[in-house]
Chains A and B, each alone.
Chain A
Amino acid sequence: DAGVTQSPTHLIKTRGQQVTLRCSPKSGHDTVSWYQQALGQGPQFIFQYYEEEERQRGNFPDRFSGHQFPNYSSELNVNALLLGDSALYLCASSLQGISGNTIYFGEGSWLTVV
Chain B
Amino acid sequence: AQTVTQSQPEMSVQEAETVTLSCTYDTSESDYYLFWYKQPPSRQMILVIRQEAYKQQNATENRFSVNFQKAAKSFSLKISDSQLGDAAMYFCAYRSSLNTGTASKLTFGTGTRLQVTL
Contacts and interface: CB of A to CB of B under 8 A. Distances in A.
Interface of A: 31, 33, 35, 40-45, 48, 50, 55-56, 58, 88, 90, 92, 94, 96-100, 102-108, 110
Select the residue from B93, B95, B103, B108 with max chain A CB neighbours within 10 A: B103
A12 B91 CA distance: 27
A100 B105 contact: no
Select the residue from B4, B43, B91 with max chain A CB neighbours within 10 A: B43
Contacts of A48: 101, 104-105
B4 to A, nearest CB: 8
Contacts of B52: 100
Given A42-B108, A99-B97, A100-B97, A108 B44 contact: yes
Nearest to B98: A99
A56 B46 CA distance: 23
A88 B43 contact: yes
Contacts of B106: 33, 35, 43, 45, 92, 103
B101 to A, nearest CB: 4
A94 to B, nearest CB: 5
Contact of B110 (A41, A102, A104): A41
Contacts of A56: 101-102, 105
A105 B104 contact: no
A103 B106 CA distance: 9
B101 A50 contact: yes
B115 interface: no
Given A99-B97, A99-B99, A42 B91 contact: yes
